[in-house]
Amino acid sequence: MPESSRSLRVAMIGYGFMGAAHSHGWRVAPRVFDLASSPVMQVVVGRNSPAVAAAAAKWGWAEHSLDWREVVERDDIDVVDIVTPGNLHAEIAVAALAAGKHVLCEKPMANSVDEAVVMADASRRAAERGIFSMVGFTYRRVPAIAFARELVLEGKIGEVRQIRAEYLQDWLVDPEAPLTWRMKEELAGSGALGDIGAHAIDLAQFVTGDAIDAVSGVLRTFVSERPVLEVSQGLSGTSSAERGAVTVDDLALFTGRFRSGALGSFEASRMRTGRKNALRLEISGSLGSLSFDLERQNSLQFYDATARSTTHGFTEILVTEPGHPYLSGWWSAGHMLGYDHSFSNQVFDFVSAIDAGLQPRPSFDDGLQVQRVLTAVHESSNTDSAWISTIPVPAFA
């Protein structure tokens, strides 16, 4: 960290799973990358005093607070990082931007298109004053993903025709897994669709440089009641005998039409038994294909259809060379990155853009586009006409 660098004092609102990951990013990024401004982990905000105090101590925030409204107005705060459930994103982001703070907001950016429109408007107005905002679609910062985009934009796979994007987890297969805010529509907006499908949508659009303009989809909830979580004084909670309603989807399937004419198929599931965090992307074009799986995140598979046919086959590129995106700051070739590194890469991109006075991506307009796709999938799923009946169905033995 250069001695002369300016401080960028950060307030993080929220302290769950993403709070841990973002804290890691804020702490490590300035020790790995050269940043003109040095992030300072000033204050973490939450509603449960002992729990937020424990989070501050564990992750290294200088202070903790119970009042986000007071914190976003503080003169000594430059950046507000929002890692709360989605129902609070819009209110906090708009207040922080109005108070002249740069904003990093977790995905999905909002719980509705209306909220996302308000956020995007506020973000555009703030950018005119040199105040910037960005959405935490962190997987854009996985080196193999960023490299896949470079290859697609260089034309290495030719005209993109088909995209397959899946985000598969299995932590809700167990019907006794407790009901958390992620399973309540009023807090999370949607379930697998918004929580992890949003990443698949963003990556498909990011890597292809294209946008989805129409969808047809279906959502399903397999377990409609779960044990209520009793939050104790610490950072975690325990299940009670009481059961509450799950009001979001467990599984989302949809097809998407891209502006270029390419077609995509998308799957987001928290019930894909055996898959822990399989974010997979396969993009097929006229000259080749690319394939990525987050469970093997240091590799990118490349099929070059222009090569001599006798050498055809998917080649595994180990995306750990110093010339690959983000790798110059990390370890030498072959020394592998993990889940946490992307959060440092994200801080690097966000702070670099602020320092350069440039709009970071994904912008709130990018977040709004993803929100439109999520809402369109909901609408499609609620519309019976999406289903063409095949009745009478022949009886199979």
266 has which bridge partners? 165, 254
Residue closer to ligand SOE by CB (options 216, 277) is 277
Residue closer to ligand SOE by CB (options 277, 352) is 277
From the list 354, 363, 327, the residue with the least C-alpha distance to 5 is 354
Whether 104 and 79 have beta carbons less than 8 Å apart is answered as: yes
How many residues bind ligand SOE (CB under 6 A)? The answer is 7
Scanning 118-126, 192-200, 298-306, 347-355 for contacts with ligand SOE by CB under 6 A, the matching segment is 192-200
Q: Which of 81, 195, 202, 293 binds ligand SOE (CB under 6 A)?
A: 195
CB of 223 to ligand SOE, least distance (A): 17
CB of 182 to ligand SOE, least distance (A): 7
Number of H helices, E strands in the chain: 11, 16
Asked if residue 107 binds ligand SOE (CB under 6 A), the reply is: yes
Scanning 33-41, 111-119, 123-131, 193-201 for contacts with ligand SOE by CB under 6 A, the matching segment is 193-201
The whole-angstrom separation of Cα 21 and Cα 320 is 22
CB of 343 to ligand SOE, least distance (A): 9
The encoded tokens of residue 23 equal 């804290």
Q: How far is CA 272 from the centre of its chain?
A: 19
CB of 239 to ligand SOE, least distance (A): 19
The encoded tokens of residue 353 equal 């853009």
The whole-angstrom separation of Cα 111 and Cα 194 is 8
The pattern of x and - marking residues 120 through 159 that bind ligand SOE according to CB under 6 A reads ------------------x---------------------
- Label the pairing between strands 6-13 and 37-45: parallel
Positions 255 through 284 that interact with ligand SOE (CB under 6 A):
277
What would you report as the CA-atom Rg of the chain, rounded to the nearest whole angstrom?
22
The whole-angstrom separation of Cα 257 and Cα 167 is 18
| DSSP 8-state code for residue 194 | I
Positions 300 through 359 that interact with ligand SOE (CB under 6 A):
none
Q: Order the strands of the 212-220 sheet from edge to edge.
A: 212-220, 251-258, 263-269, 160-168, 278-285, 288-293, 299-304, 315-318
Positions 11 through 50 that interact with ligand SOE (CB under 6 A):
18
The encoded tokens of residue 150 equal 């470079």
The pattern of x and - marking residues 197 through 226 that bind ligand SOE according to CB under 6 A reads --x---------------------------
Residue closer to ligand SOE by CB (options 301, 346) is 346
CB of 237 to ligand SOE, least distance (A): 16
- Collapse the DSSP code of 293 into the 3-class scheme (helix H, G, I; strand E, B; otherwise coil) and give the result: strand
Residue closer to ligand SOE by CB (options 126, 252) is 252
The strand ranges marked E within 128-208 are 133-136, 160-168
CB of 272 to ligand SOE, least distance (A): 13
Residue nearest ligand SOE, Cβ-based: 195
Question: Peptide bond before 50: cis, by omega within 30 degrees of 0?
Answer: no
Q: Which of 82, 196, 253, 268 binds ligand SOE (CB under 6 A)?
A: 196
Residue closer to ligand SOE by CB (options 107, 324) is 107
Interface contacts to ligand SOE, rule CB under 6 A: 18, 107, 138, 195-196, 199, 277
